[in-house]
Structure 1
Amino acid sequence: MNKSKGKVVRYNKWGYIFLIPFIVVYVVFQLIPLISTIYNSFFENYMSGLNQVGPTFVGLDNYRELFKSGDVWIYFKNTMILWIMCFIPQIFFSLLLGAWFSDVRLRLKGSRFFKTVIYLPNLIMASAFSMLFFTLFSDAGPINSLLMQIGFISEPYKFLSHTGSARGLIALMNCLMWFGNTTILLMAGMMGIDTSLFEAAEVDGATSTQVFFKITLPLLRPILIYVVITSLIGGLQLFDVPQILTNGTGNPMRSTMTLIMYLNKHLYSKNYGMAGALSVVLFIITSLLSLLVFKVSGNDKRKG
């Protein structure tokens, strides 16, 4: 008995050895920066001209200053609006395409080709995607030229000067970039469902709609929760597309300014104390929203 226990211990040590690279990378690149960020958020540390002010311990003054202006809530609202505008069509089309491609009864031809094409936008850099859309929807761009030629508008429409159209372009770009990744994840979940359930439902005379809502969607819930939480985290970290498309201004009237763009301004001005405070606030908001999604979904109550 003792020998068998000894063998188990000897075998288990290899598991810990293989975990060492992950632990080292996590500590160096995530845990230490996180602790450093929280530490710096309690200090006044910025550049005044060519002079370095601080670091001077100021306690919670950075957090008070952050919430005093109320800008953080405006940018949080902008970020959530952009994420919702992107996520709703993204999850709709991903579920629709996933259901089509994973349904063996449809026998779709060339499904592998279309799966590859769907995922391709995810491989394009956000900067290239943003510059493409900036060129397409500029005042003298091809979209305005086409709309004027068909008589839909009489003069160029300033897409980036109106709140609705500017937010719509950002949401559209993010949706095109990420819905392929979401489709692959949902499709993998759907293909993991036991086909005998679908066969039994077909024998009982269930329609495709009933099968989707009564069998596919409930069994897909763990994957859906994962997609929602990861998409939410990515949405709160939205930066590259609006930064490039609006040249970092968040125009019109700061309606496309996100929390990370606001954070980037503090880092650019080397106001590390405020940047640290904003990073901590963003970390707390992300944790609370992720926990809320987890609670609402009921996954915390599931057993087995």
Structure 2
Amino acid sequence: MKYQKLSSQFTEFLKLAIRMLEIAEADAVLIFVDGQPEWEKLKAVADNHKVIVAADREEFLEGIEDTGLHGVVVELEESPILEKLMHALVEAVANDQLSTGAKVVALYSGFDEERIDTISFIRLDERLGRLTSRDLRKLETSVPLETLKIVVDLAVEIGREGREGKPVGTCFVVGDHRKVLSNSAPSGFDPLKGYAKKDRHIGDRSVRENLKEIAQLDGAFVVNADGTVEAAGRMLDVTSASVTLSKGLGARHWAAAAISKKTKAISIAVSESNGTVRLFQGGEVVLRIEPSRRAMKWKDLDFDNIQSAND
């Protein structure tokens, strides 16, 4: 077992984080650790404030349930620290440990892997609505990045806004469209049938608004890699026997996972219950986006975009 002692520097940074929490009236302190902390000492410094401890390994959080602190397992050991941090925040929201509008003081090893050396103040309603192009670029797919961005934006809008005050769940399957069509069937009337290609391209805002209306119907959208919507209301005819997903996900997510494993497509499912958007590739969830009150912002992830205090 690897341990992370509460060194004098760690202690001083934690005290400063607690003070920042009080001054800014933040909701919690998030600490990203690289070993199992000294729980009793950590709890003593936390002094009944809400503290969430994140780690790459579940074993680093052993014993946390006896402290009153909260734990989040990230399992991204080879990823950059800011990617881990954002993932930890998303997990905390999914676990109902934080609200989507929470303010968090984050404490982590930003420059020196051997010690805690960075403090950041993060507003979740801003950060959770901000993806980086790197998040999509790292997916090994022939689908152009711009096409994925537009479809993800549209899915997030549907998840956030619903339609006429009601939540809406839907699914987009992007790329490898011929194979996707051969592994699906029409659920009934296709409202896009007969329209010219230019009138079915998701680059057009009016087309996207029409798709929001159609999203209320059963079935998935099949999107060509070039951004043309080839069909709507398709029932995905694939088995999910070889797919493993988290408990609580419904038939839409299982079908999205299964079609992404059967084909080279990227599938994007919008949860009707909470608006969460999940991207599937190879039968697995590769990216999850929580709903936000604000529109998505695509930008490069950079230390300059987080307010940091370094030793």
Q: TM-score, normalised by structure 1?
A: 0.24
More strand by share: 2
Q: TM-score, normalised by structure 2?
A: 0.24
Question: Quick check: which has more Rg, 1 or 2?
Answer: 1
More helix by share: 1
Instruction: Give the number of the structure with larger relative contact order, counting CA–CA contacts within 8 Å between residues 6 or more apart.
Output: 1
